[in-house]
Structure 1
Amino acid sequence: MQDSAKAVGALGRAAGLERAARRRSGWYARYLWVFAAGQLVLVPMAVLWRGPVSGVVFGVTNALLVTGLSVYAVRQRVMRRGFGMKHGMMMASWTVVFALTITVGTAVFGHGAPFAAVGALACALPPAVGAWTEMRGAV
């Protein structure tokens, strides 16, 4: 009887930890929303601006965004099961879209504002979808 009571207690504590982890894992959705918003600034900057100054401004802005998000992520205590796989897939899909936008898209469509707007939305889509799915799973 004591063993079953201990097992029930352990299961209750595990369920409580899972609930706490789900509640506190909303940080990743905020992380992804900020990353998506950053794409709306960085992609047009990369597509429309030309010259060495634009490269420096793009690099510094991107470094600030990545550094800020990395510091924010490191300070979080909770990471849900499957976080690494989800983040890896999201970043891989963003990388493919970003690389295609900057290389192929710029070569084919040029440096026009309409292309920059569409490219920015396309690059913001993977993190936005990731944030949306994370918000649904955190409830």
Structure 2
Amino acid sequence: MSEYADAAEALTRSGAMEDAVRRQSRWYLRYLIVYGVAQTALVLTVLLWHGPVAVGVSTALFALCVGGLSAYAGRQRAVRRRFGLRHGLIIASWGVLYAATLVLGPMVAPDSVPFAVGAALCCALPVAVGVGLELRDGATA
């Protein structure tokens, strides 16, 4: 084969590999959507339902969700470049907002439904940004 044919074949294989990774990394979009729904329910539960039973139930359910999502993520065959950085930033941003919500919620607006809804939406922002980035990068559910 000529050098041009070899180069064309290499480009074709590279494009096919990129398409395969893009298809196989769609799992992260589904992961973020489930995580976003679960964290929204967690924030609403923590801010509006009080007592040790509330803490136990909400923490246990969220831990089960995160455990299931972690097992799901561990079984995936492909991730995009810089996946760890993106995921770390999303989860760290959520953690900071969630901690601020836990501190400010009882002090500023105890038992306030509007505050709880606003806090849940605020905590969902990093996950929503992650979903937007995944959609922009070509992953569709």
Is TM > 0.5 for Structure 1 vs Structure 2? yes
RMSD: 1.6
Shift of 1:5: 3.8
Which amino acid is the alignment partner of residue 35 of structure 2?
F
- Distance in 2 of aligned mates of 1:75 and 1:38: 20
Match of 2:31 in 1: 31
Match of 2:134 in 1: 134
Shift of 1:121: 0.9
Task: Flag the structure with higher helix content.
Answer: 1
Which amino acid is the alignment partner of residue 121 of structure 2?
L
- Distance in 2 of aligned mates of 1:26 and 1:106: 38
- In the alignment, structure 1 segments of 5+ residues that lack a partner are none
Q: Deviations over 1:65-100 (max 9, x none)?
A: 101111111111110011111111111111111111
Q: Deviations over 1:28-60 (max 9, x none)?
A: 111101111112211011111111111110111
Match of 1:113 in 2: 113
Q: Which shows bigger deviation, 2-11 or 34-43?
A: 2-11
TM-score by length of structure 2 reads 0.89
Paired residues in the alignment total 139
Match of 1:103 in 2: 103
Contact between 1:26 and 1:135, CA under 8 Å: does it hold in 2? no
Contact between 1:40 and 1:120, CA under 8 Å: does it hold in 2? yes
Contact between 2:47 and 2:105, CA under 8 Å: does it hold in 1? no
Match of 1:123 in 2: 123
Contact between 2:42 and 2:62, CA under 8 Å: does it hold in 1? yes
- In the alignment, structure 2 segments of 5+ residues that lack a partner are none
Shift of 1:119: 0.9
Which amino acid is the alignment partner of residue 19 of structure 2?
R
- Distance in 2 of aligned mates of 1:69 and 1:138: 22
- Distance in 2 of aligned mates of 1:104 and 1:76: 37
SS of equivalent residue, structure 1 residue 138? coil
Contact between 2:42 and 2:58, CA under 8 Å: does it hold in 1? yes
Match of 1:44 in 2: 44
In the TM superposition, structure 1's runs of 4+ consecutive aligned residues that sit over 6 Å from their partners are none
